[in-house]
Amino acid sequence: MTYQNTDTRSGAAKGRGLQVQALARALHRGLSALLGAAAAFVLLVMLVIVTVNIVLRYGFASSILGAEDAGIWLNVIIVSLGAPLALGSALAMRLDVVQTRLGARGQAVSAVIADTITLLSGLAIAFGGAQVVQLVGGSSDALGLPESIRFGFFAVGGGLVLVMVVLEQIASGRMIECAIALVAALAIYFGAGQVHLSPGLPPSICAALIILLGVAVSAPMPHAFFAAAFLAIPLGASIPEPAMINIAVNGASKFLLLAIPFFLLSGTLLTVSGVAERLIRFAAACVGHLRGGLGQTTLLTNLMFSGASGSSIANAAFGSVTLYPELVRNGYRPERAGAIVAASSILDNVVPPSIAFLVLATVTNLSVGKLLVGGLWAGLLLAAALFVALRLTVNEAAVQPRAGWGLRGHTFLRALPAFGLGLIVVFGIRFGIVTTTEAAAAAALYSVGLAVIFARARGAGLLQAFRGSAIEAAAIGMMIASAHPFVSLLAIDNVAGLVKQAASLLGSGPVAVTLLAVIILLIAGLFIDTGAAILILGPLLLPAAVAAGLDPITFGVIIVVTLMIGGLTPPLGVLIFVVAGITNVPSSALFRSVVPYVAALVCALILICAYAILSI
């Protein structure tokens, strides 16, 4: 009878546990839907405001009062609403190369540490944001609203991160692990103010080590940055918690950054409209008859699609879903097909419109138009290098006969609407017709028209496109915000001066500076997201390059290209892990197959560096 009672109690407890899981799952699903719809709506409102302002400015020599401030505030709201949803996406920027090599117990421990870091970041954002709300004064002159509202939304975003992490862990049956992580995060957060340590290292170096720990345990990279900045305070950092949040929010409050969600929306809607498929057919008509023609088609499609996406991670995911299956179906080995998709996807952060160049312009005040033109020429050079590498490494026979000029002309005309995006962005920005943000908004509106006309997209389809773009933009925006406190720590510790000293040890000439910069950027590209690496290293390396006589625009191109190559390089290239996660091809096999393409890209990088040095 005792055993039966025990079994009954055990069964009842198990049943209650399943009920709690089901409730957490329902709450998580409902909150995700609500936040996604809200973020999509905010993105729509932001697009409408910027578009109307363009019409008024160029058509009636007028404007909406406070349109720029409204766009900035709405972008902060998108980051706050969308960041909790991005925790489980590829853009959460989790690198699992270390975690996957641990045993079952090691993986469990690292998962708890990763959750602790994320929860600690959420606590710092929520409570730090609440402190800023109480401290900040004044109102926006343009909007007439208290400045505290902008920080209040960011604080709410931190609270939502806490809620989403807890719900997700409970829903997956990890209640004990969740409780351990939550207790640990609370203890660290509230105990940090009572501790003052002197580790003998600059606070920025301590923060960097904490970030590396977060990367090693596969914590979301933005939250590893926030947690590191917070933990640097008891280690001697002179930036208190409210200042940390103030720096983060102000770092994300740039009108230029509104271009990021608009460019992402353009790429998404180009796929929804079916115009992306037309680009693939046009590319196949041009190069499909060559040996390894599908590989060349993948390369050419990425080169053309770069004008719409602007995000290598987004395009690696796109290629893994659309191009990879065709490559495998036509005889390409899975690892080679995945390597081709990953290598060609780097063009999206080089060929305009490039989100990487937008971030670089934001942090260095370089001309966006000149950077985009430099990126266009660099992208064509990288594409040529990959073309040669594909010809040398791909032996698969062509899958279609040579297309006649009639078919090429027909497919070109059908793909012509996609090229309108490139004209809007490159020519609009380069010739000063519109600002970068206005060009991005015009491109997004143009893509909405394509989706409605060609795919007859209506409410549900457009809502999904806006929702996905808002979440992707929120992930990038959170990365930008989280990197700014760490950049401030580097500035306080005068790390830029140390970089200059290191360059002087090799010689202060352009060759030495370029070589040192490329080495640092390649290493950073292995571990750190491109946007974060640009935010951190751009201000550190650019002064040394200018002092050595290098053209800042060309050096900016070198920064982006080198970081993108680092995203492919073994053993931690993030683009390889994006492709591996979608295609289920082992990352180790992809890294082996991508080596010839990395070598080709390095040769192109050497040519760019040589041009920069010889142009002095």
| Whole-number pLDDT of residue 182 | 94
pLDDT band at residue 287 using 50, 70 and 90 as cut-offs? confident
DSSP 404: P
Beta carbons of 284 and 293 less than 8 angstroms apart: yes
Rounded alpha-carbon distances, angstroms, from residue 516 to 63, 198, 460, 534 = 47, 31, 50, 16
pLDDT per residue over 543-597, tens digit each? 888 888 899 999 999 999 998 888 787 766 777 777 876 777 877 788 888 889 9
Task: Select from 516, 515, 525, 521 the least CA-distant residue to 570.
Answer: 525
Predicted confidence (pLDDT) per residue in 453-472, tens digit: 876 666 677 888 899 888 88
Domain locations along the chain: 2-253, 292-403+493-614
CA distance 218 to 207: 17
Position 310 scores a pLDDT of 47
Single-letter code of the amino acid located at 272: V
| 584/15 Cα distance (integer angstroms) | 34
Decide if 50 contacts 74 (C-beta within 8 A).
no
d(CA 568, CA 598): 7
Amino acid letter at 595?
V
Structure tokens at 239: 């930036």
Max mean pLDDT range (27-36, 318-327, 413-422): 27-36
Average per-residue pLDDT in the chain? 82
Tens-digit pLDDT profile for residues 252-274: 888 878 888 888 888 788 777 77
Given a contact cutoff of 8 angstroms between Cβ atoms, the answer to whether 396 and 330 are in contact is yes
309, pLDDT greater than 60? no
Mean pLDDT comparison of 151-160, 285-294, 406-415, 535-544, highest-scoring range: 151-160
Residue 475 vs residues 49, 176, 264, 526: alpha-carbon distances, Å: 22, 28, 12, 19
d(CA 18, CA 611): 64
**What stretch of H or E contains 574?**
helix 574-583
According to DSSP, the residues that pair with 146 across neighbouring strands are: 139
Cα end-to-end distance, the chain, whole Å: 91
pLDDT per position as a tens digit, 288-300: 667 667 777 778 7
Q: Coil, helix or strand for 146? A: strand
The structure tokens 């345990």 sit at: 217
pTM (predicted TM-score) = 0.82
Mean pLDDT, rounded, for 176-195: 90
Q: What are the respective helix, strand and coil percentages of the chain, to the nearest 5?
A: 80, 0, 20
